[in-house]
Structure 1
Amino acid sequence: MGKVRWSELWKKYKFVLLVVLVGVLLMVLPVSSESKETETSDLQTPRETFDLAETEQRMEAILGKIDGVGKLQLMLTLQSGTRLTLAEDTQSDSGRTTRETLTLNRGSGSQEVVVTNRYYPVYQGAVVVCQGADSSAVRLAITETVQALTGLASDRIQVVKWTS
Protein backbone atom coordinates (compact mmCIF):
# COMPACT_ATOMS: atom_id res chain seq x y z
CA MET A 1 0.00 0.00 0.00
CA GLY A 2 1.17 3.43 -0.86
CA LYS A 3 1.20 6.61 1.08
CA VAL A 4 -2.08 8.46 1.47
CA ARG A 5 -1.88 11.89 -0.07
CA TRP A 6 -4.11 14.45 1.59
CA SER A 7 -4.35 16.50 -1.61
CA GLU A 8 -5.79 13.51 -3.49
CA LEU A 9 -8.30 12.79 -0.73
CA TRP A 10 -9.32 16.46 -0.60
CA LYS A 11 -9.91 16.56 -4.36
CA LYS A 12 -11.90 13.34 -4.26
CA TYR A 13 -14.06 13.95 -1.14
CA LYS A 14 -14.17 17.73 -0.71
CA PHE A 15 -17.93 18.01 -1.41
CA VAL A 16 -18.78 15.20 1.00
CA LEU A 17 -16.64 16.80 3.71
CA LEU A 18 -18.24 20.22 3.13
CA VAL A 19 -21.76 18.75 3.42
CA VAL A 20 -20.83 16.95 6.65
CA LEU A 21 -19.27 20.13 8.06
CA VAL A 22 -22.38 22.20 7.24
CA GLY A 23 -24.60 19.53 8.82
CA VAL A 24 -22.57 19.55 12.03
CA LEU A 25 -22.71 23.36 12.16
CA LEU A 26 -26.49 23.36 11.73
CA MET A 27 -26.89 20.83 14.53
CA VAL A 28 -24.70 22.86 16.90
CA LEU A 29 -26.42 26.23 16.28
CA PRO A 30 -29.17 27.12 18.78
CA VAL A 31 -32.80 26.99 17.67
CA SER A 32 -34.11 30.49 16.99
CA SER A 33 -36.66 31.98 19.38
CA GLU A 34 -38.96 32.66 16.42
CA SER A 35 -39.85 28.97 16.04
CA LYS A 36 -40.54 28.70 19.77
CA GLU A 37 -42.96 31.62 19.55
CA THR A 38 -44.75 29.96 16.66
CA GLU A 39 -45.15 26.74 18.62
CA THR A 40 -46.64 28.50 21.64
CA SER A 41 -48.87 30.77 19.58
CA ASP A 42 -50.35 27.71 17.86
CA LEU A 43 -51.48 26.45 21.26
CA GLN A 44 -53.18 29.69 22.22
CA THR A 45 -56.73 30.34 21.16
CA PRO A 46 -56.79 33.25 18.72
CA ARG A 47 -59.05 35.99 19.95
CA GLU A 48 -60.53 36.84 16.59
CA THR A 49 -63.86 38.57 16.63
CA PHE A 50 -66.08 39.34 13.72
CA ASP A 51 -67.59 42.81 13.51
CA LEU A 52 -70.16 43.22 10.72
CA ALA A 53 -70.06 47.04 10.85
CA GLU A 54 -66.27 47.06 10.55
CA THR A 55 -66.42 44.63 7.63
CA GLU A 56 -68.98 46.82 5.86
CA GLN A 57 -66.80 49.91 6.38
CA ARG A 58 -63.73 48.17 5.02
CA MET A 59 -65.66 46.93 1.99
CA GLU A 60 -67.14 50.40 1.40
CA ALA A 61 -63.61 51.83 1.37
CA ILE A 62 -62.54 49.28 -1.24
CA LEU A 63 -65.66 49.65 -3.39
CA GLY A 64 -65.37 53.45 -3.23
CA LYS A 65 -62.03 53.25 -5.04
CA ILE A 66 -63.58 51.65 -8.13
CA ASP A 67 -63.68 54.11 -11.02
CA GLY A 68 -67.12 55.64 -11.54
CA VAL A 69 -68.74 54.41 -8.31
CA GLY A 70 -69.11 57.78 -6.60
CA LYS A 71 -70.87 57.98 -3.26
CA LEU A 72 -71.90 54.57 -1.92
CA GLN A 73 -73.34 52.66 0.98
CA LEU A 74 -73.16 48.90 1.60
CA MET A 75 -75.28 46.57 3.69
CA LEU A 76 -74.46 42.92 4.33
CA THR A 77 -76.79 40.35 5.84
CA LEU A 78 -75.64 37.17 7.56
CA GLN A 79 -77.14 33.71 7.38
CA SER A 80 -75.08 32.69 10.43
CA GLY A 81 -72.49 34.35 12.60
CA THR A 82 -69.19 33.16 14.02
CA ARG A 83 -69.44 29.96 16.04
CA LEU A 84 -66.88 27.95 17.97
CA THR A 85 -66.96 24.25 18.82
CA LEU A 86 -65.22 23.64 22.11
CA ALA A 87 -63.45 20.44 23.14
CA GLU A 88 -65.37 18.49 25.78
CA ASP A 89 -64.45 15.70 28.13
CA THR A 90 -67.28 13.20 28.62
CA GLN A 91 -67.31 10.89 31.62
CA SER A 92 -69.90 8.21 32.41
CA ASP A 93 -70.57 7.15 35.97
CA SER A 94 -73.28 4.55 36.69
CA GLY A 95 -75.62 5.71 33.95
CA ARG A 96 -74.92 9.40 34.54
CA THR A 97 -72.96 11.29 31.89
CA THR A 98 -71.09 14.50 32.66
CA ARG A 99 -69.51 16.81 30.13
CA GLU A 100 -66.85 19.36 30.90
CA THR A 101 -65.32 21.90 28.57
CA LEU A 102 -61.57 21.37 28.31
CA THR A 103 -59.35 24.28 29.29
CA LEU A 104 -55.62 24.92 29.18
CA ASN A 105 -53.89 26.43 32.19
CA ARG A 106 -51.67 29.29 31.06
CA GLY A 107 -50.03 30.00 34.40
CA SER A 108 -50.69 32.86 36.81
CA GLY A 109 -54.32 31.77 37.08
CA SER A 110 -55.34 32.22 33.44
CA GLN A 111 -57.16 29.52 31.53
CA GLU A 112 -58.18 29.24 27.88
CA VAL A 113 -60.78 26.96 26.34
CA VAL A 114 -59.73 24.44 23.69
CA VAL A 115 -61.38 25.25 20.36
CA THR A 116 -61.79 22.29 17.99
CA ASN A 117 -63.62 24.07 15.14
CA ARG A 118 -64.14 27.69 14.19
CA TYR A 119 -67.05 28.48 11.88
CA TYR A 120 -66.84 31.86 10.18
CA PRO A 121 -69.87 33.94 9.23
CA VAL A 122 -71.89 32.92 6.20
CA TYR A 123 -73.22 35.83 4.20
CA GLN A 124 -76.80 35.82 2.98
CA GLY A 125 -76.85 38.87 0.74
CA ALA A 126 -75.44 42.29 -0.07
CA VAL A 127 -76.96 45.58 -1.22
CA VAL A 128 -74.79 48.35 -2.64
CA VAL A 129 -76.35 51.76 -3.25
CA CYS A 130 -74.10 54.03 -5.31
CA GLN A 131 -74.19 57.01 -7.64
CA GLY A 132 -72.57 55.17 -10.55
CA ALA A 133 -75.03 52.24 -10.61
CA ASP A 134 -76.52 53.34 -13.95
CA SER A 135 -73.28 52.17 -15.63
CA SER A 136 -73.23 48.43 -16.39
CA ALA A 137 -69.41 48.39 -16.08
CA VAL A 138 -69.62 49.83 -12.56
CA ARG A 139 -72.36 47.37 -11.55
CA LEU A 140 -70.26 44.46 -12.86
CA ALA A 141 -67.12 45.66 -11.07
CA ILE A 142 -68.99 46.07 -7.78
CA THR A 143 -70.71 42.70 -8.12
CA GLU A 144 -67.44 40.90 -8.85
CA THR A 145 -65.66 42.65 -5.98
CA VAL A 146 -68.39 41.80 -3.48
CA GLN A 147 -68.37 38.20 -4.77
CA ALA A 148 -64.63 37.97 -4.21
CA LEU A 149 -64.83 39.41 -0.69
CA THR A 150 -67.87 37.51 0.59
CA GLY A 151 -68.22 34.36 -1.51
CA LEU A 152 -71.79 35.34 -2.42
CA ALA A 153 -73.26 34.37 -5.78
CA SER A 154 -74.09 37.26 -8.10
CA ASP A 155 -77.84 36.71 -7.66
CA ARG A 156 -77.39 37.54 -3.94
CA ILE A 157 -75.83 40.95 -4.67
CA GLN A 158 -77.92 43.97 -5.61
CA VAL A 159 -76.38 47.17 -6.96
CA VAL A 160 -78.83 50.07 -7.17
CA LYS A 161 -78.69 53.75 -8.08
CA TRP A 162 -78.27 56.37 -5.32
CA THR A 163 -81.02 59.01 -5.50
CA SER A 164 -80.12 62.54 -4.53
Structure 2
Amino acid sequence: MEQDKKTKRLGALWGKYGFVLLVLLAGVALLLWPTEPKEPPGQGQTETVREAESLAETEERMRSILSEIDGVGQVRLMLTLESTREREFMQDTELSYSGATAAPDDYTRRSEAVILSGDDGEEPVVVRNVGPTYRGALVVCTGGGNAEVKLAVTQAVAALTGLSSDRITVVKCQS
Protein backbone atom coordinates (compact mmCIF):
# COMPACT_ATOMS: atom_id res chain seq x y z
CA MET A 1 0.00 0.00 0.00
CA GLU A 2 2.84 2.36 0.92
CA GLN A 3 4.57 1.47 -2.33
CA ASP A 4 1.36 2.16 -4.28
CA LYS A 5 1.12 5.72 -2.83
CA LYS A 6 4.74 6.42 -3.73
CA THR A 7 4.16 5.20 -7.28
CA LYS A 8 1.08 7.39 -7.67
CA ARG A 9 2.95 10.43 -6.31
CA LEU A 10 5.88 9.75 -8.60
CA GLY A 11 3.48 9.38 -11.55
CA ALA A 12 1.79 12.68 -10.68
CA LEU A 13 5.16 14.46 -10.42
CA TRP A 14 6.28 12.95 -13.72
CA GLY A 15 3.06 14.10 -15.39
CA LYS A 16 3.52 17.61 -14.02
CA TYR A 17 7.31 18.09 -14.44
CA GLY A 18 8.26 15.37 -16.94
CA PHE A 19 8.62 17.69 -19.91
CA VAL A 20 10.81 20.12 -17.97
CA LEU A 21 13.02 17.25 -16.83
CA LEU A 22 13.37 15.94 -20.39
CA VAL A 23 14.37 19.38 -21.68
CA LEU A 24 16.87 19.75 -18.84
CA LEU A 25 18.39 16.33 -19.56
CA ALA A 26 18.61 17.14 -23.28
CA GLY A 27 20.45 20.40 -22.46
CA VAL A 28 22.95 18.59 -20.24
CA ALA A 29 23.48 15.95 -22.94
CA LEU A 30 24.17 18.65 -25.55
CA LEU A 31 26.66 20.37 -23.24
CA LEU A 32 28.52 17.10 -22.71
CA TRP A 33 28.39 16.09 -26.39
CA PRO A 34 31.96 15.84 -27.75
CA THR A 35 32.91 18.36 -30.40
CA GLU A 36 35.71 18.40 -32.91
CA PRO A 37 38.83 20.04 -31.59
CA LYS A 38 39.20 23.61 -32.75
CA GLU A 39 42.12 24.43 -35.00
CA PRO A 40 44.75 26.64 -33.44
CA PRO A 41 44.74 30.23 -34.75
CA GLY A 42 46.70 30.66 -37.92
CA GLN A 43 46.07 27.15 -39.22
CA GLY A 44 43.36 26.68 -41.80
CA GLN A 45 43.75 30.24 -42.97
CA THR A 46 45.01 30.17 -46.53
CA GLU A 47 46.22 33.72 -46.46
CA THR A 48 47.09 36.04 -43.62
CA VAL A 49 45.57 39.48 -43.60
CA ARG A 50 47.95 41.87 -45.25
CA GLU A 51 49.02 44.86 -43.19
CA ALA A 52 48.25 48.38 -44.32
CA GLU A 53 49.27 49.12 -47.87
CA SER A 54 51.23 52.26 -48.28
CA LEU A 55 49.62 55.10 -50.14
CA ALA A 56 52.24 54.82 -52.90
CA GLU A 57 51.40 51.13 -53.48
CA THR A 58 47.69 51.93 -53.68
CA GLU A 59 48.29 54.78 -56.12
CA GLU A 60 50.49 52.56 -58.29
CA ARG A 61 47.94 49.77 -58.42
CA MET A 62 45.14 52.20 -59.27
CA ARG A 63 47.29 53.95 -61.91
CA SER A 64 47.96 50.59 -63.54
CA ILE A 65 44.24 49.72 -63.61
CA LEU A 66 43.11 53.16 -64.81
CA SER A 67 45.60 53.13 -67.70
CA GLU A 68 43.83 50.06 -69.09
CA ILE A 69 40.53 51.92 -69.54
CA ASP A 70 39.88 52.66 -73.22
CA GLY A 71 40.95 56.18 -74.18
CA VAL A 72 42.74 57.03 -70.92
CA GLY A 73 46.33 56.73 -72.11
CA GLN A 74 49.12 57.71 -69.71
CA VAL A 75 47.99 58.32 -66.13
CA ARG A 76 49.29 60.16 -63.10
CA LEU A 77 47.31 59.77 -59.90
CA MET A 78 47.37 61.46 -56.51
CA LEU A 79 45.29 60.39 -53.52
CA THR A 80 45.00 62.35 -50.29
CA LEU A 81 44.08 60.74 -47.00
CA GLU A 82 41.59 61.90 -44.38
CA SER A 83 42.74 59.15 -42.00
CA THR A 84 44.96 56.10 -42.16
CA ARG A 85 44.07 52.48 -41.41
CA GLU A 86 42.76 51.92 -37.89
CA ARG A 87 42.64 48.74 -35.84
CA GLU A 88 40.57 48.28 -32.69
CA PHE A 89 41.84 45.66 -30.27
CA MET A 90 39.82 43.50 -27.89
CA GLN A 91 40.15 44.81 -24.34
CA ASP A 92 39.98 43.02 -21.01
CA THR A 93 38.47 45.61 -18.69
CA GLU A 94 38.16 45.44 -14.92
CA LEU A 95 36.21 47.95 -12.82
CA SER A 96 36.78 48.30 -9.08
CA TYR A 97 34.38 50.22 -6.84
CA SER A 98 34.88 51.50 -3.33
CA GLY A 99 32.06 52.41 -1.01
CA ALA A 100 28.42 51.38 -1.22
CA THR A 101 27.32 49.54 -4.34
CA ALA A 102 24.31 51.78 -4.88
CA ALA A 103 26.39 54.98 -4.73
CA PRO A 104 30.12 54.20 -4.94
CA ASP A 105 32.57 56.77 -3.61
CA ASP A 106 35.21 56.09 -6.21
CA TYR A 107 36.02 53.59 -8.90
CA THR A 108 39.06 52.58 -10.91
CA ARG A 109 39.15 51.10 -14.36
CA ARG A 110 41.94 48.90 -15.65
CA SER A 111 42.06 47.83 -19.27
CA GLU A 112 44.57 45.86 -21.31
CA ALA A 113 44.65 44.34 -24.78
CA VAL A 114 43.80 40.65 -25.09
CA ILE A 115 46.85 38.76 -26.38
CA LEU A 116 46.56 35.50 -28.32
CA SER A 117 49.50 33.09 -28.14
CA GLY A 118 50.08 30.87 -31.14
CA ASP A 119 52.75 29.24 -33.25
CA ASP A 120 53.68 32.59 -34.78
CA GLY A 121 54.16 34.23 -31.37
CA GLU A 122 51.89 36.56 -29.45
CA GLU A 123 49.46 38.90 -31.21
CA PRO A 124 46.70 41.18 -29.95
CA VAL A 125 43.14 40.15 -30.90
CA VAL A 126 41.74 42.57 -33.49
CA VAL A 127 38.03 43.35 -33.14
CA ARG A 128 37.65 45.80 -36.00
CA ASN A 129 39.85 46.75 -38.93
CA VAL A 130 38.98 49.97 -40.76
CA GLY A 131 40.77 50.86 -43.99
CA PRO A 132 42.06 54.31 -44.83
CA THR A 133 39.59 57.12 -45.55
CA TYR A 134 40.39 59.16 -48.63
CA ARG A 135 39.89 62.91 -48.83
CA GLY A 136 40.22 63.34 -52.58
CA ALA A 137 41.75 62.15 -55.85
CA LEU A 138 43.38 63.88 -58.80
CA VAL A 139 43.79 61.99 -62.06
CA VAL A 140 45.85 63.53 -64.86
CA CYS A 141 45.64 61.53 -68.06
CA THR A 142 46.04 61.86 -71.82
CA GLY A 143 42.32 61.25 -72.48
CA GLY A 144 41.16 63.58 -69.70
CA GLY A 145 39.62 66.01 -72.20
CA ASN A 146 37.04 63.44 -73.36
CA ALA A 147 33.75 63.42 -71.35
CA GLU A 148 33.31 59.63 -71.66
CA VAL A 149 36.83 59.01 -70.40
CA LYS A 150 36.29 61.44 -67.50
CA LEU A 151 33.11 59.63 -66.51
CA ALA A 152 34.71 56.17 -66.73
CA VAL A 153 37.76 57.25 -64.69
CA THR A 154 35.62 59.04 -62.10
CA GLN A 155 33.42 55.96 -61.66
CA ALA A 156 36.45 53.68 -61.38
CA VAL A 157 38.18 55.86 -58.77
CA ALA A 158 34.91 56.19 -56.82
CA ALA A 159 34.49 52.40 -56.83
CA LEU A 160 38.06 51.81 -55.62
CA THR A 161 38.24 54.51 -52.94
CA GLY A 162 34.66 55.13 -51.81
CA LEU A 163 34.98 58.80 -52.73
CA SER A 164 32.00 60.67 -54.12
CA SER A 165 32.37 62.09 -57.64
CA ASP A 166 32.68 65.67 -56.35
CA ARG A 167 35.95 64.70 -54.63
CA ILE A 168 37.48 63.25 -57.79
CA THR A 169 39.02 65.50 -60.44
CA VAL A 170 40.01 64.18 -63.86
CA VAL A 171 41.97 66.49 -66.16
CA LYS A 172 43.84 66.24 -69.44
CA CYS A 173 47.63 66.30 -69.23
CA GLN A 174 49.81 68.70 -71.19
CA SER A 175 50.67 67.67 -74.71
Task: Please give the root-mean-square deviation of Cα atoms over the aligned residues, in Å.
Answer: 2.7
1:127 match: 138
Structure 1 residue 148 displacement after superposition: 1.4
Give the TM-score of the pair, scaled to structure 1.
0.69
**Per-residue deviation, residues 89-142 of structure 1 (Å, max 9, x unmatched):** 11234533221111011158x211011111111111110001111111111111
Q: Are 1:61 and 2:72 an aligned pair?
A: no
Counterparts of residues 1-150 of structure 1 (less than 5 Å): 40-41=43-44, 46-93=49-96, 94=98, 95-107=107-119, 110-150=121-161
2:20 match: none
Q: What stretches of structure 2 of length at least 5 have no aligned partner?
A: 1-35, 99-106
Structure 1 residue 41 displacement after superposition: 4.9
Alpha-carbon spacing, 1:58–1:92, altered in 2? closer, same or farther (3 Å): same
Q: 1:133 touches 1:160 (CA, 8 Å); kept in 2?
A: yes
SS, match of residue 137 in structure 2: strand
What is the rounded CA distance, in whole Å, between the counterparts of 1:135 and 1:107 in structure 2? Answer: 55
Indicate the larger mover: 94-103 or 131-140: 94-103
Alpha-carbon spacing, 1:101–1:37, altered in 2? closer, same or farther (3 Å): closer
- What letter is aligned with 1:157? I
SS, match of residue 112 in structure 2: strand
Alpha-carbon spacing, 1:130–1:37, altered in 2? closer, same or farther (3 Å): farther
The number of equivalent residue pairs is: 129
SS, match of residue 57 in structure 1: helix
Alpha-carbon spacing, 1:65–1:47, altered in 2? closer, same or farther (3 Å): closer
Percentage of matched positions with identical amino acids: 44
What is the rounded CA distance, in whole Å, between the counterparts of 2:68 and 2:40 in structure 1? Answer: 38
SS, match of residue 92 in structure 2: strand
Structure whose alpha-carbon radius of gyration is higher: 2
